[in-house]
Amino acid sequence: MATPVQEYKDAVDKGLEGVVACTTEISSIQDSTLTYRGYTIEDLAEKSTFEEVSYLLIKGVMPSKDELAAFTKQLQKEMTLDAAFKAQLGSLYSVFPKNGHPMDFLRTAVSTLSFFDADVASNEPDANFRKSVRLIAKMGPIVAAFQRLREGKDILEPKTDKSIAYNFMYQLQGKEPKAEWVKIFDIALILHADHELNCSAFSTRVTASSLSDLHSDIVSAIGTLKGPLHGGANTAVMKMLHEIGTIEKAQQFVVGALEGKQKVMGIGHRVYKNGDPRAKILKKMSQQLTKEVGHPELYEMSTLIDQTMFDKKGLMPNVDFYSATVYDSMGIPGDIFTPIFAVSRISGWCAHAMEQYSKNRIYRPRGQYTGKTGLKL
């Protein structure tokens, strides 16, 4: 019998790069094209809404007019946070370290939310659909509640005749959002809703494969998304731009980073080699918004970094790069950028969990042992 050292010739140590881990009907990346259930991201961004895309992801088909109306009504009903749950959020924040990361708050809040869900113990398809609706509806209000709590303000109730995008901006900032900005934010949610078998989608499926509950799957995803190499990159992009400070220093920064073998956040992608289609859409939004709020230099710095990285390394921006200046222009705090990612990606996570449950086999890869052998006490 072969020893563990001899059993595998080709262990994959580079993040499972190139390994196909499962089949999926949810989303697909082919060259520089991203599709959700067969629809291109460009088409969805132009003609759809986040609510419609959420239905598409978790149900597998585009809704009819009546189906979308009913689904939207369900989401609007579930946006309101239970009074006891809001009290728990307040208690959580009261002991939350003031330098704590908002993703830590979100992770614990979603875990707590499971205690308030009557379907928590059921993995039946109908129960998971109901839980998905609640999670999609409540993720934005939870993130907004964190911001309100740390500002010492009351948690606002949602306007239950408005969209998820509208309510997030309203509940976060406490004022009527501009209609044009609501549309831009809705597009941003669509762009981030799913992305094939990314790191957090994979952790969702791994947890689901053990037949754990949906809330546990999502808690795993949130913990994964927190990492600076995944969802945390857009926060790092904004920090980078502020540290650079001026257009004149932008190119010098890139050259210095490359010479020092440092990563330039928001640039490059494991899968896209000819450009991230989401970044192209966000770039236009960044140009518009930075000019509108009187900070066009942020866009100009971004494009200079973008062009310099392409000229010197052949690398192009990913979704995080321009989303940073889009959110910043809307007055959203930088450390909330990653939680916003979760507000959007919750739709994809739920879809991946439900697909995993539908054709499940527990994930159990092997590891090629490279340690010492033959030791004796």
- Which residues does the annotation mark as catalytic? 269, 320
User: Could you tell me which of 55, 30, 49 has the C-alpha nearest to residue 350?
Assistant: 55
Q: What is the DSSP letter of 228?
A: T
Q: What are phi and psi of 267, to 5 degrees?
A: -115, 135
Q: Where are the alpha helices (DSSP H) in the chain?
A: 4-7, 41-47, 50-59, 65-78, 83-95, 102-113, 125-150, 164-173, 179-192, 199-209, 214-225, 233-244, 247-259, 277-292, 296-313, 319-329, 337-358
Sign of the Cα torsion 237, 238, 239, 242 reads positive
Name residues whose C-beta falls within 8 Å of residue 317's C-beta, 6 or more positions apart in sequence.
266, 267, 276, 279, 283, 302, 306, 309
Q: Are 268 and 316 in contact (CB under 8 A)?
A: yes
Would you put residue 16 in left (φ > 0), alpha (ψ -120 to 50) or beta? left
Coil, strand or helix at 152: coil
Cα separation, 146 vs 106, whole angstroms: 8
Q: Are 167 and 140 in contact (CB under 8 A)?
A: yes
